[in-house]
């Protein structure tokens, strides 16, 4: 049981260090979530129009739900920064964040909770509430409490933290003429008006439809365009980038024809999925689809695997059996890594394409075959022809209908859509739910070069789901094995609250100038210095990683990464 009367805030350096201004890219970050800076007066005007448009009660519910979502996300961050979740210090991240964000000044009066039993009681005093100020400005003194967003924030933060529904109410509100606000929070079932309170957190369909109708219609139209004519399971048919849409259009147009199709693109772009989609959209959809990776078959067996073999054709051929082409009769065969075919197999493939017939290895009977060939390669076939690795006549026969699938680095607008698809897949597979990918991690995904393309993205999302605890946000460290480099920006100074520029050259007014110059003159090593700082911080914190991280001014995850690096060195 954590209990305190008038608890005091711990140092907030770990929280302030999470605020980062990135004017070069037009972003403000709080840890890995993108934030926005708006004029309080502008938020007040929005609040005023919501009240006048929706009415007092519906506007109240909407703003409480808005605040609840913000508090819920901040609670996930609180657990990340201060993982000792049974302590009052960790819980006080919520009230302190409300102060740091400029929402309200919070003074804890009483805090008592027990995570194991779910017991909770909390009383806090609010001063300088932006919500009370704007309400008084636009509507004058209210008859009932008006800090709806802040109440929702408190309820959302505490509900996530406690793992059960905790609801707050204002006992006193500055919007009603008092000098300050005072709130109390406790489990939902302990409120006599529980049903009325919980109803405020349920979506108001009329209000939601009124506010979101145009957005919903726009999203629906976009979804229809993005998935038009796409067969079930066609992962690469999720997208809206120009290069992707061009390739999809070619697949759709070519599906109705009988022409062979040549799929070009880097490894991992989803060539087999495009081939399956072509098959599913064609008149052969009910017939077999056979996929063959030519590179995985030994050169001396590739002809028999593709075209079949008669008994006694070679040592070990004890029975006659059909090859991949016969199994695909009436349907589609997908030949990946086509350039790996042996010269003999290339000649046999050309015969199938030109005459629609084949002979099994060791046989003399000519079999008629009706197969549509979809071939794929990540190599330059023209160059392979020039070097004599690939038959020119076969290349010209296959190159009737080429389709180039763009690499993922050229489909950045498709990455959030694909990531959402893979999240759904792995949530179901591992029977867990995350809160999705952080804004900062999503930016890193968009900036990544993707040498492995969609296959690499799928693997990365799976890794993120595995490493992220239930009901947490997937961060950069959970996705990337080596955190990507980021541009310099501005961070908050924990001493003054002002901005500090992160740059290669320290400010001439830095208190560390003299020390840094001395160290550099003595043959300074940044690696040794970082190791020393880390070791001493751990010693002062008595090997408590979270406490040591606060001393250094970084997150627990960042310090844990450096500790692992030290062990490896």
231 pLDDT band (50/70/90 cuts)? Answer: very low
What does the alpha-carbon distance between residue 166 and residue 156 come to, in Å, rounded to a whole number?
8
156 pLDDT band (50/70/90 cuts)? Answer: very high
| Top-ranked range on mean pLDDT: pick from 101-105, 144-148, 220-224, 528-532 | 144-148
Query: Cα 218–416–79 angle (5° rounding)?
Result: 115
Closest CA relative to residue 459, chosen from 268, 231, 292, 275: 268
Query: What's the mean pLDDT when you consider all of the chain?
Result: 83
pLDDT (mean) for 283-307: 87
pLDDT (mean) for 411-431: 91
Which helix (H) or strand (E) segment holds residue 352: the answer is helix 343-355
Count of other CB atoms within 10 angstroms of residue 311: 12
Token duo for residue 164:
């059960």
Q: Are 18 and 429 in contact (CB under 8 A)?
A: no
pLDDT (mean) for 83-102: 80
184 pLDDT band (50/70/90 cuts)? Answer: very high
Measured CA distances, 449 to 195, 272, 458 (Å): 51, 22, 15
Token duo for residue 489:
């920006």
pLDDT at residue 279 is higher than 80 = yes
State percent of the chain over pLDDT 70: 83
401 pLDDT band (50/70/90 cuts)? Answer: very high
What does the alpha-carbon distance between residue 408 and residue 461 come to, in Å, rounded to a whole number?
15
| Top-ranked range on mean pLDDT: pick from 6-20, 361-375, 447-461 | 447-461
pLDDT at residue 503 is higher than 70 = no
State percent of the chain over pLDDT 90: 33
pLDDT (mean) for 325-346: 90
What does the alpha-carbon distance between residue 404 and residue 293 come to, in Å, rounded to a whole number?
19
What per-residue confidence (pLDDT) applies to 507?
45
pLDDT (mean) for 495-521: 57
Supply φ then ψ for residue 334, to 5 degrees.
-110, 115
What per-residue confidence (pLDDT) applies to 486?
63
What's the DSSP call for residue 568? H
What per-residue confidence (pLDDT) applies to 32?
81
Task: Please state which of the ranges 156-160, 446-450, 509-513 shows the lowest mean pLDDT.
Answer: 509-513
pLDDT (mean) for 514-537: 76
Task: Please state which of the ranges 63-67, 143-147, 325-329, 481-485 shows the lowest mean pLDDT.
Answer: 481-485
pLDDT at residue 72 is higher than 50 = yes
Closest CA relative to residue 464, chosen from 472, 561, 81: 472
What per-residue confidence (pLDDT) applies to 232?
45
Cα 452 from chain centre? 17
What does the alpha-carbon distance between residue 335 and residue 292 come to, in Å, rounded to a whole number?
5
| Top-ranked range on mean pLDDT: pick from 20-29, 261-270, 512-521, 550-559 | 261-270
Give Rg (Cα) of the chain.
32
Q: Are 328 and 290 in contact (CB under 8 A)?
A: yes
pLDDT (mean) for 4-30: 75
Task: Tell me which of 67 and 39 has the higher pLDDT.
Answer: 67
Task: Please state which of the ranges 182-191, 383-392, 435-444 shows the lowest mean pLDDT.
Answer: 435-444
189-206 pLDDT tens trace? 999 999 998 988 887 655
Structural domains in the chain plus CATH codes: 2-211 (3.30.1380), 242-405 (3.40.50.300), 505-568 (1.10.10)
What per-residue confidence (pLDDT) applies to 497?
54
Collapsing DSSP states into helix, strand and coil, what is residue 473? coil
Residue 167 pairs with which residues in a beta bridge?
186
pLDDT at residue 104 is higher than 60 = yes
What does the alpha-carbon distance between residue 416 and residue 234 come to, in Å, rounded to a whole number?
16
pLDDT at residue 495 is higher than 60 = no
What's the DSSP call for residue 411? -
What's the DSSP call for residue 338? G
What per-residue confidence (pLDDT) applies to 385?
92
Query: What are the start-end ranges of the E strands in 395-450?
Result: 402-404
Query: Cα 528–534–535 angle (5° rounding)?
Result: 90
pLDDT (mean) for 202-226: 56
Kindly report the pTM of this predicted structure: 0.62
State the Cα torsion 458-462-463-465 to the nearest 10°.
140
457 pLDDT band (50/70/90 cuts)? Answer: very high
pLDDT at residue 325 is higher than 90 = no
What does the alpha-carbon distance between residue 288 and residue 554 come to, in Å, rounded to a whole number?
57
pLDDT at residue 505 is higher than 50 = no
Residue 423: half-sphere exposure toward Cβ, Cα within 13 Å: 19
pLDDT (mean) for 329-358: 89
What per-residue confidence (pLDDT) applies to 115?
86
What per-residue confidence (pLDDT) applies to 230?
47
What per-residue confidence (pLDDT) applies to 315?
63
What does the alpha-carbon distance between residue 284 and residue 261 come to, in Å, rounded to a whole number?
14
User: Hunting for tokens 């008859």 — which residue is that?
Assistant: 143
What per-residue confidence (pLDDT) applies to 487?
59
Task: Tell me which of 105 and 25 has the higher pLDDT.
Answer: 105
Task: Please state which of the ranges 18-22, 409-413, 418-422 shows the lowest mean pLDDT.
Answer: 18-22
């Amino acid at each position: 049981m954590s209990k305190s009367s008038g608890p005091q805030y711990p140092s907030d350096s770990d929280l302030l260090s999470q605020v980062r201004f990135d004017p070069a890219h037009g972003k403000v970050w709080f840890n890995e979530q993108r934030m926005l800076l708006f004029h309080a007066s502008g938020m007040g005007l929005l609040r005023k129009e919501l009240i006048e448009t929706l009415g007092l009660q519906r506007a109240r519910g909407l703003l409480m739900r808005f605040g609840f979502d913000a508090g819920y996300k901040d609670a996930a961050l609180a657990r990340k920064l201060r993982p000792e979740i049974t302590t009052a210090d960790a819980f006080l991240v919520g009230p302190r964040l409300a102060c740091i964000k400029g929402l309200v000044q919070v003074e804890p009066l009483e805090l008592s909770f027990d995570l194991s039993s779910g017991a909770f009681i909390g009383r806090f005093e609010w001063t300088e509430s932006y919500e009370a100020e704007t309400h008084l400005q636009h509507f004058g003194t209210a008859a009932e409490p008006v800090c709806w967003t802040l109440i929702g924030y408190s309820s959302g933060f505490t509900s996530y933290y406690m793992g059960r529904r905790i609801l707050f109410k204002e006992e006193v509100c500055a919007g009603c003429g008092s000098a300050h606000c005072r709130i109390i929070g406790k489990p939902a079932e302990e409120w006599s008006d529980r049903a009325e309170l919980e109803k405020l957190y349920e979506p108001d369909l009329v209000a939601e439809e009124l506010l979101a109708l145009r957005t919903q219609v726009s999203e629906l139209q976009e979804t229809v365009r993005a998935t038009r004519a796409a067969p079930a399971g066609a992962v690469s048919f999720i997208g809206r980038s120009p290069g992707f849409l061009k390739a999809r259009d070619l697949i759709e147009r070519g599906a109705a024809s009988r022409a062979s199709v040549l799929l070009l693109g880097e490894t991992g772009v989803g060539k087999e999925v495009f081939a399956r989609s072509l098959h599913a959209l064609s008149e052969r959809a009910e017939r077999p689809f056979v996929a063959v990776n030519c590179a995985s078959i030994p050169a001396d067996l590739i002809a028999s695997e593709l075209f079949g073999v008669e008994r006694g054709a070679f040592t070990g051929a004890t029975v006659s059996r059909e090859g991949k082409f016969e199994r695909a009769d009436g349907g589609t065969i997908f030949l990946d890594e086509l350039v790996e075919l042996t010269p003999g197999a290339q000649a046999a493939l050309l015969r199938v394409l030109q005459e629609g017939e084949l002979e099994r290895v060791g046989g003399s009977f000519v079999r008629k075959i009706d197969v549509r060939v979809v071939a794929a390669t990540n190599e330059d076939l023209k160059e392979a022809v020039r070097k004599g690795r690939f038959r020119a006549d076969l290349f010209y026969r296959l190159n009737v209908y080429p389709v180039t699938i763009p690499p993922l680095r050229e489909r950045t607008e498709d990455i959030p859509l694909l990531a959402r698809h893979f999240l759904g897949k792995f949530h179901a597979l591992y029977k867990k739910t995350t809160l999705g990918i952080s804004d900062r991690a999503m930016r890193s995904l968009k900036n990544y070069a993707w040498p492995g393309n969609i296959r690499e993205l799928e693997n990365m999302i799976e890794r993120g789901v595995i490493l992220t605890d239930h009901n947490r946000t997937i961060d950069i460290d959970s996705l990337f094995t080596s955190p990507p480099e980021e541009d310099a920006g501005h961070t908050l100074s924990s001493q003054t609250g002002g901005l500090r520029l992160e740059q290669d050259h320290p400010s001439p007014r830095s208190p560390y100038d003299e020390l840094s110059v001395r160290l550099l003159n003595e043959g300074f090593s940044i690696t040794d210095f970082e190791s020393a700082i880390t070791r001493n911080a751990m010693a002062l914190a008595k090997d408590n990683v979270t406490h040591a991280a606060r001393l250094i001014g970084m997150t627990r995850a960042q310090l844990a990464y450096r500790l692992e690096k030290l062990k490896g060195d």
